[in-house]
Amino acid sequence: MKEQLFITGIGTEIGKTICAAVLTQYLKADYWKPVQSGELHATDSMRIYDLLQGDVVIHSERYKLKLAASPHKSAALEAVSIALADFEVPTTDNHLVIEGAGGLFVPINDNHFMIDLIQSFAVPVALVVKDYLGCINHTLLSINAIKQRNLHLKYVLFNGGIDPDSKRVIVQHIPADTRVIHIPHLSAVTAQAIRNLAHDLTL
């Protein structure tokens, strides 16, 4: 059975794209970023393509917005209106990794958030966690939001090292059927490093 995953995080700039690259490599999946907000000269789709050395099908973004901000703000500055109905999961016979923008409650318009997009897609969630002061709070809030929406939290990915005391609390609140994945800190994010990490995964 082909797998579809929506990768989100407990915040922004926590390594979602690195984790997306590893899972895309591992699954030999297609990749899709529904909304790219900012960095149009070096998008996440471009980065995935480079890290997988072109051996990946990249589906085009539905929206590519110029300002590096939440999509609702970037869209408003360009007089663009984003609606949930605008998005349709790409048709593919392959696995598909979908990468969101920021965390669950990043707004795509004044009324809807990334979590609403996930719910409309009805796909399992992979939550990326990074160690920082406040990560326990942000992780547990994210997990609770996923539970409240009756979404399937398939994976929790600890990106980089995690404080043992933080990890102990977080793991106690992860659903029993959720797989925990550890992505070690990379001193250099290269195509070879991504291949090595994917090779070492056992899902």
Strand pairing category for 63-65 and 30-32: unpaired
Residue from 2, 16, 28, 33 carrying the catalytic annotation: 33
- In the chain, the amino acid numbered 71 is P
Contact 36, 44 (CB under 8 A): yes
Shortest CA distance to 47 belongs to which of 90, 83, 17? Answer: 17
* DSSP 3-state of 172: helix
Can 33 be counted among the known catalytic residues? yes
* DSSP 3-state of 152: coil
- C-beta contacts of 84-93 below 8 A and 24+ residues apart: 84/108, 84/112, 84/116, 84/117, 84/120, 86/62, 87/34, 87/62, 87/117, 87/120, 87/121, 89/4, 89/32, 89/121, 89/123, 90/30, 90/32, 90/59, 92/2, 92/30, 92/57, 92/59, 93/2
Which residues are known to be catalytic? 33
